[in-house]
Amino acid sequence: MAFAKHSGNDITRQEKQQAAAAALRWVRSGMQLGLGTGSTAAEFITLLGQAVRNGELQVEAVATSLASEKLARAVGIPLLPPRRGLRLDLTIDGADELDNQLQLIKGGGGALLREKVVATASDYLLIIADASKHVAQLGRFPLPLEVVPFALPWVLDAVADLGGAPKLRLDKTNPAEPARSDQGNLLVDCYFGALLNPPELAQQLQQIPGIVEHGLFLGLARAAVVAQADTTLVLQPGMAPASAADFTDLP
């Protein structure tokens, strides 16, 4: 499946809202949710907040970043702290890239660690995205790593040995300083080019001491809602794309 090429920030924003609105239709009162991070997840949090304030939905949620936590509070979504035994019914999150098998690259916003923790604590990970995120093969977007500051030089060497050009991410507002995750760790963006074997790369990265987490999310997403123009499709691994309108419940 391929989406036609398109451009334009307004169109992309509309598509993010469209994907978020489709996901919201599958949220039920009583659910405990995971809230993703990034501009697409923010559209979902905003819509969910409206539904909560209108009394249409009663939910509780765990946020995957301080930014999403702040937004969720602002729009009136009751928040849950992490606790033992907590399983989330559904996590809704964006992605930097997704392929047809729903392998993902995440972490462009630096939230990969909490996002993977929350996705793993969830019964269902639903990805929402505009069509620009859908690729035939992962790797156009650099792969983010969260790295313990002490280990940085050796992690950079190890990533280079694996064939990925590593680049320390800089703070957007103060480029003289490195960007920091919510945990105070560093972020490294790795340019491997097309990822021919994401599971093998994930395993290699997991073995490098000092890498707290990498942005490959493999076997975690159950479905993705991908919007382009007025088309909103549901993608599931091994299944033909279907119109989101056909699903009255989670795919």
Q: Out of 34, 49, 110, 210, which residue is the one contacting ligand R5P (CB under 6 A)? A: 110
In the shown chain, the binding pattern of residues 62 to 101 toward ligand R5P, with x for contact by CB under 6 A and - for none, equals -------------------------------xxxx-----
Task: Please tell me whether residue 107 binds ligand R5P under the rule CB under 6 A.
Answer: yes
Q: Out of 40, 68, 103, 228, which residue is the one contacting ligand R5P (CB under 6 A)? A: 40
Q: Out of 34, 36, 166, 198, which residue is the one contacting ligand R5P (CB under 6 A)? A: 36
Task: Please tell me whether residue 142 binds ligand R5P under the rule CB under 6 A.
Answer: no
Residue 8, both tokens: 């334009």
Nearer to ligand R5P, 49 or 115 (CB): 115
Residue 141, both tokens: 């977007």
Q: Indicate if 115 belongs to the active site.
A: yes
The CA distance from 37 to 119, in Å, is 12
Nearer to ligand R5P, 166 or 214 (CB): 214
**What residue is closest to ligand R5P based on CB?**
38
Nearer to ligand R5P, 39 or 161 (CB): 39
Shortest Cβ 16–ligand R5P spacing (Å): 7
Nearer to ligand R5P, 29 or 39 (CB): 39
Beta carbons of 144 and 205 less than 8 angstroms apart:
no
Q: Out of 6, 29, 30, 39, which residue is the one contacting ligand R5P (CB under 6 A)? A: 39
Burial 147-161 (b: 16+ CB within 10 A, else e): beeebbeebbebbee
Q: Is 96 annotated as a binding residue?
A: yes
Q: Out of 109, 142, 166, 198, which residue is the one contacting ligand R5P (CB under 6 A)? A: 109
Q: List, as one string, the DSSP characters of the chain.
A: --PPP---HHHHHHHHHHHHHHHHTT--TT-EEEE--SHHHHHHHHHHHHHHHTTS---EEEESSHHHHHHHHHHT--B----TT--BSEEEE--SEE-TT--EE--TTS-HHHHHHHHHTBS-EEEEEEGGGB-SSS-SSPEEEEE-GGGHHHHHHHHHHTT-EEEEPBPSS-TTSB-B-TTS-EEEEEE-SS-S-HHHHHHHHHTSTTEEEESEE-S-EEEEEEEETTEEEEE-TTS--EEGGG-SS--
Shortest Cβ 144–ligand R5P spacing (Å): 7
Active-site hit among 43, 69, 115, 146: 115
Q: Out of 98, 106, 155, 222, which residue is the one contacting ligand R5P (CB under 6 A)? A: 106
Instruction: List residues binding ligand R5P (CB under 6 A).
Output: 36-41, 93-96, 106-112, 115
Catalytic residues: 115
Please enumerate, by residue number, every residue annotated as part of a binding site for substrate.
37-40, 93-96, 106-109, 133
